[in-house]
Every structure is written in structure tokens, then in C-alpha cells.
């Protein structure tokens, strides 16, 4: 490859809202259930049944819009988007065409130590479709339980340039939806789904290439793999002097390849028309302001606080606010501990290794975490012992203090106890001592390792260093 290419991506994310009832009827939105039991004449599209908009859908959608810095329309309407597919009982989807509920927002992401702002074109409300189940021997079955579950579709500007940026954007968006409580955003249950619009162009060019849309990606891993495959495919076609077709493509998880599904429809193919059964949507300032007042503290505000008040790095702070439950847990422990930096380090370097950040559940009470930090701060234990205690806390429900007492883990801070152990280690390390005296500072590591083993990791590391240097330099 001689030329350098740039990938240009925009995302369409569908988020199922967790209102109690569907968007145009009073059926439950609960996931699963026996097929076609969460249905009524409205959501299976029987002739003569009339939709009525669920006001709660507007509350949730406006909340989502405000949380990602969108403007909210004062006048909106709902349109029929026509396409014939059996998962839509009416053969049109009620969506929004030219007057979306929210528009012109942005979402800031952190990638490679820099903050980048991704434009949000619009958010519109629409109904979800049913589910087709293809069964060997039976043909295709349809389950309308999901038909009419409210969705917001969040459309971004083509501001994304790498799979890494896409991941950061989706994680942030998902975190915000959880913070504001409008969706349970479970990718495996389809309540958070992503389509990627992708094109490739020569670096430096300001003309967009031909774009393809990859549909229905339902895990972070599939999204990353699909982007990788599809961008390479575009580059290959361009290098070979071929032409790309604007089309919708699927992603096959077993082969890791994308495949053509259909030529892309343009807006006119959908024959949008205002739904005559639904009233216009009229929103006033008081309504918007009351939703604004109900917004919780959002990830970016929390992050700024962590940087300003606790002196954390932007990267560390971003990780801690990634889930609301995690950030709540961290803040509870902050109140109980003497050193926030030590606390953040323990969480990120030790505890992140075994917790699920997407579905955070506290591994042990926040008080214990605070207590553990204080034991380190007070010199009762050292950092390496704290790791052992964390392992122990995962298995038992004991507090750090109890574990220290039971297993005799207190740090050895007594010179008289350490001195003979250090003498012995020096006597056993002729080679390392020689190397050290010849100017190789690193040789000390082997001697310190011996002392740590002899004390079961409990020796005070600073004190060992001090005594060892005294002895060697005399
Ligand atoms: Zn219904
Ligand atoms: Mn849509």
C-alpha cells in the first residue's frame, strides 16, 4: 500500500427506553415472555386500532437529549416510514423524519490522552419492530412482544476516525444512559444496538468516500471486528481501482466478514408521511426545565470533580466514572479513607482486574476498602500485603483489620527485628553485593526479594531499603 487512508465513521445507535408500557399502547415492555403475549390490537397493527403517544417516552427522550447537550424542538411530529418486512405488522414504522425531538448535541470522549468532541446530529423517537425467528422445518415465526417498545435513535456526525474512538463513544453513551436511568442498555438483550456508517478516503482529502452501513451489531467485539474488516475491504477495492457501492451490509460472526444485504435505500424510498393518527408534539420551556432539574450529576461533571478535588489524572478519572454504580462506590470509600490517590490506585490496578465494569457490583463493602487504605496510610501494612488482603476479602466477608489480626499480617516496622534478617540476606548474596559495590544498583533487587520472602512480604519496604544501604555502604 502506497497511499495513506483515513476511516470516516458515523453511528446510529438504537436505545430501548425502559418505560413501563409501550410507545403507543398499554402493553408491557418487559423483555422476553411467551411469544405474542405482550401484544394488543394496536401493537400488532389491526385495522382500526389507533395509537396514542406515551408521554413518558417524551420525558425519557428529552432527558437523553439534554444529557448529551442537544437542543430540544418546541414542535415535533411523527412520521410513517414505509418498508415491507414481516417484523412490522403495519408495514410502516412510526418514526420521526424532518422534525426530530432533539438535535445539534455533542458527546466528549477521551482517546489516547486527548479529549475529542463528537457531534450528535439528532435523536428521534420511534417504535421497535417485532422479532423474526427462523426455524429449521417450521419456516419463519414472528414474535411481536418487542413491537412497539419505545426506542430513541441517536445519530452522530461522521466525526469518528478509528475503532478505538467508536468504542470510547459507545461506552460513554452507554454510561450516560445508565446514569440517567432511561434504559438498561443491555447489548445482549438488544436494548442497545449499533449501526456503523463507514467510508474511507485518502488522508488529507476533504471529500467523503462511498459509504456502506453495517447493521445490527450487538457486541463491542463484533463492532470492532466489523470496522476492521469493512475498512480493509474499502481500501482493497480502492487500491485495485474498483468501485464501491452504497449499500447495507451484515456482519457474520463466524467468518468475521461483512456481506451485502441490500442496496441502500434513500429517504424517498421510505415514502415518509406524517402519521395522521397522532397529534403534533408541542413542548414548552417549563417542561424542558423540569427535566433539566431532574438530571443527576453526569459522568463529565464527576470526572472534572475527581481531577480538581482529588488530583487524579484525566484517564484515571474517566475510568472511575465509566459506571454510575462504580463511581458511587468510589465516592463512598473516599469519605472513609485517608488518601484518595491510594484508594484510586488500589481500585484501578487491583480491583478492576476481577470486577465487571459493565455490570458493576461491589466486591466488598466500601467501608472495607476505606479501612484497607487507612491501614496502608498508617503503616500497619504495606502495599504488597494489601493485595493479599484483597484476595482474602473476595473469599470471606471479613474486614481488613480482622484479616490482618488473624493471619498476623502487620508490617514489620522494627529495626531490631529486621536487622538480623537483612544481615543474613547480605551474607547469602555475595554476588549481588559485589555487583552493587561495582555500581550496579539493580543488584539490590535480589537481596530485597530474599528479605521479603523471609518476612512473608511484611517488611516495611522503605525501612529495608534504609537499613540495607546503611549496612552495604559502611
Ligand atoms: Zn399493545
Ligand atoms: Mn431507526
142 is written with which cell numbers? 414472528
Q: Provide the pLDDT for residue 305.
A: 95
C-alpha–C-alpha distance, residues 17 and 123, integer Å: 13
Start-end of H helices in 142-195: 163-180
Q: Provide the pLDDT for residue 410.
A: 86
C-alpha–C-alpha distance, residues 382 and 206, integer Å: 56
Ligand with an atom nearest the CA of residue 42: 1
Task: Determine the distance separating the centroid of ligand 1 and the alpha carbon of 26, expressed in angstroms.
Answer: 6
Q: Give the SS3 label for residue 241.
A: coil
C-alpha–C-alpha distance, residues 351 and 335, integer Å: 18
Whether 234 contacts 199, CB under 8 Å: yes
Block residue for cell numbers 552495604: 472
DSSP character string of 260-287: EEEEPPPGGGGT-EE-TTSPPEE--HHH
Q: Identify the segments of the chain with pLDDT beneath 70.
A: 1-2, 264, 267
C-alpha–C-alpha distance, residues 442 and 279, integer Å: 77
Q: Provide the pLDDT for residue 11.
A: 97
DSSP character string of 381-430: S-HHHHHHHHHHHHHS---HHHHHHHTT---B--HHHHHHHHHHHHHT-H
C-alpha–C-alpha distance, residues 330 and 464, integer Å: 32
Q: What are phi and psi of 417, to 5 degrees?
A: -75, -40
β-pair type (71-72, 102-111): antiparallel
Task: Determine the distance separating the centroid of ligand 2 and the alpha carbon of 153, expressed in angstroms.
Answer: 6
Q: Provide the pLDDT for residue 474.
A: 76
Q: Provide the pLDDT for residue 1.
A: 53
Average pLDDT, the chain: 93
Whether 116 contacts 108, CB under 8 Å: yes
Is the model's pTM score more than 0.85?
no
- The environment of the single-atom ion ligand 1, i.e. residues with CB closer than 5 A, is 25, 27, 40, 42-43
C-alpha–C-alpha distance, residues 431 and 436, integer Å: 9
Q: Say if residue 395 is exposed, middle or buried (CB neighbours under 10 Å; 0-12, 13-18, 19+).
A: exposed
Q: Provide the pLDDT for residue 281.
A: 97
Q: What are phi and psi of 9, to 5 degrees?
A: -135, 145
Q: Provide the pLDDT for residue 181.
A: 94
C-alpha–C-alpha distance, residues 353 and 348, integer Å: 8
> 339: closest CA among 302, 383, 394?
383
Q: Provide the pLDDT for residue 2.
A: 66
Task: Determine the distance separating the centroid of ligand 1 and the alpha carbon of 185, expressed in angstroms.
Answer: 22
Task: Determine the distance separating the centroid of ligand 2 and the alpha carbon of 176, expressed in angstroms.
Answer: 20
Distance of CA 176 to the CA centre of its chain: 9
Q: What are phi and psi of 250, to 5 degrees?
A: -100, 170
Block residue for cell numbers 559495590: 437
Q: Provide the pLDDT for residue 217.
A: 87
Task: Determine the distance separating the centroid of ligand 2 and the alpha carbon of 167, expressed in angstroms.
Answer: 20
Task: Determine the distance separating the centroid of ligand 2 and the alpha carbon of 44, expressed in angstroms.
Answer: 19
Q: For residue 124, what are the β-bridge partners?
A: 153
C-alpha–C-alpha distance, residues 371 and 346, integer Å: 12
User: Within 13 Å, how many C-alpha atoms sit on residue 39's CB side?
Assistant: 21
Amino acid at each position: 500500500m502506497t497511499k495513506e487512508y483515513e476511516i470516516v465513521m458515523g453511528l446510529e445507535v438504537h436505545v430501548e427506553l425502559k418505560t413501563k408500557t409501550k410507545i403507543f399502547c398499554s402493553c408491557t415492555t418487559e423483555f422476553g415472555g411467551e411469544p405474542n403475549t405482550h401484544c394488543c390490537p394496536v401493537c400488532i397493527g389491526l385495522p382500526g386500532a389507533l395509537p396514542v403517544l406515551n408521554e413518558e417516552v417524551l420525558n425519557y427522550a428529552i432527558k437523553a437529549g439534554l444529557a448529551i447537550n442537544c437542543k430540544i424542538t418546541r414542535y415535533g411530529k411523527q412520521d410513517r416510514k414505509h418498508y415491507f418486512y414481516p417484523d412490522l405488522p403495519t408495514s410502516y414504522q412510526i418514526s420521526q423524519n424532518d422534525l426530530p425531538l432533539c438535535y445539534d448535541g455533542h458527546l466528549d470522549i477521551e482517546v489516547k490522552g486527548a479529549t475529542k468532541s463528537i457531534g450528535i446530529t439528532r435523536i428521534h423517537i420511534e417504535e421497535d419492530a417485532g422479532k423474526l425467528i427462523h426455524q429449521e422445518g417450521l419456516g419463519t415465526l414472528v414474535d411481536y412482544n418487542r413491537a412497539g417498545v419505545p426506542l430513541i435513535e441517536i445519530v452522530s456526525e461522521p466525526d469518528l476516525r478509528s475503532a478505538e474512538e467508536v468504542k470510547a463513544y459507545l461506552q460513554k453513551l452507554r454510561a450516560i444512559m445508565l446514569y440517567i436511568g432511561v434504559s438498561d442498555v443491555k447489548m445482549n438483550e438488544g436494548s442497545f444496538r449499533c449501526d456503523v456508517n463507514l467510508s474511507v478516503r485518502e488522508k488529507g482529502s476533504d471529500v467523503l468516500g462511498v459509504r456502506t452501513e453495517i447493521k445490527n451489531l450487538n457486541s463491542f467485539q463484533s463492532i470492532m471486528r466489523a470496522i476492521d474488516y469493512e475498512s480493509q475491504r474499502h481500501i482493497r477495492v480502492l487500491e485495485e481501482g474498483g468501485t464501491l457501492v452504497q449499500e447495507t451490509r451484515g456482519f457474520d460472526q463466524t467468518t468475521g466478514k461483512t456481506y451485502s444485504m441490500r442496496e441502500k435505500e434513500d429517504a424517498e424510498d421510505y415514502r415518509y408521511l406524517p402519521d395522521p393518527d397522532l397529534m403534533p408534539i408541542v413542548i414548552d420551556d417549563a417542561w424542558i426545565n423540569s427535566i433539566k432539574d431532574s438530571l443527576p450529576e453526569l459522568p463529565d461533571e464527576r470526572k472534572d470533580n475527581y481531577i480538581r478535588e482529588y488530583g487524579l489524572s484525566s484517564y484515571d478519572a474517566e475510568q472511575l466514572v465509566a459506571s454510575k454504580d462504580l463511581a458511587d462506590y468510589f465516592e463512598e470509600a473516599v469519605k472513609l479513607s485517608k488518601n484518595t490517590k491510594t484508594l484510586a490506585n488500589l481500585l484501578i490496578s487491583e480491583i478492576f482486574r476481577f470486577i465487571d465494569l459493565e455490570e458493576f457490583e461491589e466486591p466488598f463493602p466500601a467501608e472495607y476498602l476505606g479501612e484497607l487504605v487507612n491501614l496502608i496510610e498508617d503503616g500497619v501494612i504495606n502495599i504488597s500485603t494489601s493485595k493479599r488482603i484483597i484476595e482474602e476479602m473476595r473469599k470471606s466477608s471479613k474486614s481488613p483489620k480482622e484479616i490482618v489480626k488473624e493471619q498476623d499480617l502487620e508490617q514489620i516496622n522494627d529495626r531490631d527485628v529486621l536487622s538480623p534478617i537483612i544481615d543474613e540476606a547480605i551474607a547469602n548474596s555475595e554476588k549481588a553485593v559485589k555487583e552493587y559495590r561495582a555500581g550496579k544498583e539493580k543488584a539490590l533487587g535480589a537481596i530485597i526479594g530474599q528479605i521479603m520472602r523471609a518476612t512473608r512480604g511484611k517488611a516495611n519496604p522503605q525501612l529495608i531499603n534504609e537499613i540495607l544501604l546503611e549496612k552495604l555502604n559502611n
